[in-house]
Amino acid sequence: MINRIRNILTYIGPGLLVTVGFIDPGNWASNVAAGSTYGYSLLWMVTLSTLMLILLQHNAAHLGIVTGLCLSEATTAHLPKGVSRPVLVTAVLAAIATALAEILGGGIALQLIFRIPLMVGSVIMGLSALLLLFTNAYSRIEKLIIGFVSIIGLSFLYELNLMPVAWDKALSGWVTPVFPSGSMLIIMSVLGAVVMPHNLFLHSEVIQSRHWNREDDRIIRQQLNYEILDTATSMAVGWAINSAMIILAAATFFRNGARVDELGQAQQMLKPLVGDGAALIFGVALLFAGLSSSITAGMAGGSIFAGIFGREYDIRDRYTIVGAGLTIVVATLLIFTIGDPFRGLIISQMLLSVQLPVTIVTQIILTSSPKVMGRYANPLPEKIALWIVAAIVIGLNVMLLVSLL
């Protein structure tokens, strides 16, 4: 029993890397906008997105465990070039949109802490991300960054005891889908901030850091069982932190009729816990969150780009270098075109939800194929569940398009 628990704890990790994405600047902006503008009414989107995410992340890891290929490599290997190239190009664009939000959030943090101009701070963030990526120095400070950012996330959870939360409205909001007037942009930004396309590619890649014998059916089954536990546990933590952010924004801003148009205003949510030091602590947390998640976005971009050429992620390989560099550099340059940083964060997350159906459908086709997965192809119940998820995401995107028109 002790050995089994030790094995499980040793395996936990890839899911937590994905969970860090729940505490990134783009996610914070989406949650603050949802809670401050619509109160508790959009909590259902966090619940729905998290349930879909558990299924999708497990399915992506399933592909990596069984085939030894990441989602990008498998797309290149098993789909016609006329299909695979457009799919993966849009995935790279999604990684760039993600990196844009993370680098911009880090730039906002430097502005809050040191009064550095936003554009200068964003360039500093982009260069820092590139340095840590290409020197592989990130692996040495990863646990420190994840630990600090996680403490801030848990602080939001703790603060629920200190704020005047309308729990009856929160409980209703978690399970009752509603679409307040003008809310589709924020609904889709919450979806894109939780179910991030680049994380599906990244999870199928990082899961392979665990080495196993793919010829041994018992070992494969064991890996799949451990992985679903890792994913479900990590995503549950993400659900709790996302929910806490929306609830606190509702209790701090919506309850008082305060309009939020800057991410820096979110530091008010920490005041009941840390008082006047809230601005500094929030700024440092935002800085670390932006740095950590911009690096994972760069990793995803490198993995996707390398996969287009049938190569695995390797920061010493020229294809990975080009992909990771392209993701960070283009994202940094695009920040100079943004007039309203807070709205820019929201729109970047919405764009992820627009690309999401492409990634989901591609993933389902691959993991449902006996040619790709052999006897581990999706069973009928899982296949039905995955297609329902795809239909929901596509339907929400249609609703977004109609609302914009």
Structure tokens at 228: 């679903």
Neighbours of 31 (CB within 10 A): 31
What pLDDT was estimated at residue 163? Answer: 85
What pLDDT was estimated at residue 234? Answer: 77
Question: CA–CA separation, 361 vs 84, rounded Å?
Answer: 12
- Which region among 30-39, 159-168, 370-379 has the lowest average model confidence (pLDDT)? 159-168
Residue 289, pLDDT > 70, answer yes
Distances (CA, A) of 96 to 89, 93, 302: 11, 5, 11
Inter-residue contact 343 to 186 (CB < 8 Å) = no
Q: What share of the chain is helix, strand, coil (3-state, %, to 5)?
A: 85, 0, 15
Residue 228, pLDDT > 90, answer no
Backbone angles phi, psi at 79, to 5 degrees: -115, 150
pLDDT, the chain, mean: 87
For every residue of 365-380, DSSP letters joined together read HHHT-HHHHGGGSPPH
What pLDDT was estimated at residue 5? Answer: 47
Question: CA–CA separation, 125 vs 146, rounded Å?
Answer: 17
Inter-residue contact 261 to 342 (CB < 8 Å) = yes
Domain ranges in the chain?
A: 2-404
The amino acid at residue 139 is: S
Residue 214, pLDDT > 60, answer no
Residues 6+ apart with CB under 8 A from 2: none
What pLDDT was estimated at residue 371? Answer: 96
Residues 6+ apart with CB under 8 A from 170: 40, 43, 243, 247, 250
What pLDDT was estimated at residue 404? Answer: 84
- The SS3 call for residue 262 is coil
Averaged over 151-164, what is the pLDDT? 79
- Diameter of the chain by CA atoms? 60
- Which region among 122-131, 168-177, 270-279 has the lowest average model confidence (pLDDT)? 270-279
SS3 sequence of 127-151: HHHHHHHHHCCHHHHHHHHHHHHHH
Helices H / strands E in the chain, number of each = 18, 0
pLDDT in tens, 310-354: 999 998 999 999 999 999 999 999 999 999 999 999 999 999 999
Taking the mean position of all CA atoms in its chain, how far away is CA 353?
Answer: 11
More confident residue, 118 or 222: 118
What pLDDT was estimated at residue 331? Answer: 98
Domain spanning 2-404: CATH superfamily? Amino acid/polyamine transporter I (1.20.1740.10)
Residue 374, pLDDT > 80, answer yes
What pLDDT was estimated at residue 235? Answer: 81
What pLDDT was estimated at residue 231? Answer: 77
pLDDT in tens, 144-156: 666 766 777 777 7
Neighbours of 263 (CB within 10 A): 24
More confident residue, 313 or 276: 313
What pLDDT was estimated at residue 114? Answer: 93
Question: pLDDT tier at 223 (50, 70, 90 boundaries)?
Answer: low
Averaged over 301-305, what is the pLDDT? 96
Averaged over 47-73, what is the pLDDT? 92
Residue 157, pLDDT > 60, answer yes
What pLDDT was estimated at residue 273? Answer: 72
Phi-psi region of 249 (alpha: psi -120 to 50; beta: other; left: phi over 0): alpha
Taking the mean position of all CA atoms in its chain, how far away is CA 82?
Answer: 28
Question: CA–CA separation, 404 vs 98, rounded Å?
Answer: 22
DSSP state of 379: P
- Which region among 184-188, 222-226, 331-335, 352-356 has the lowest average model confidence (pLDDT)? 222-226
* 157-172 CB burial, b ≥16 within 10 A, e <16: bebbeebebbeebbee
DSSP state of 264: G
pLDDT in tens, 246-258: 998 999 899 889 8
Instruction: Measure the N-to-C terminal CA separation of the chain; round to a whole number of Å.
Output: 58
Question: CA–CA separation, 53 vs 195, rounded Å?
Answer: 6
- With pLDDT > 90 as the criterion, what percentage of the chain qualifies? 58
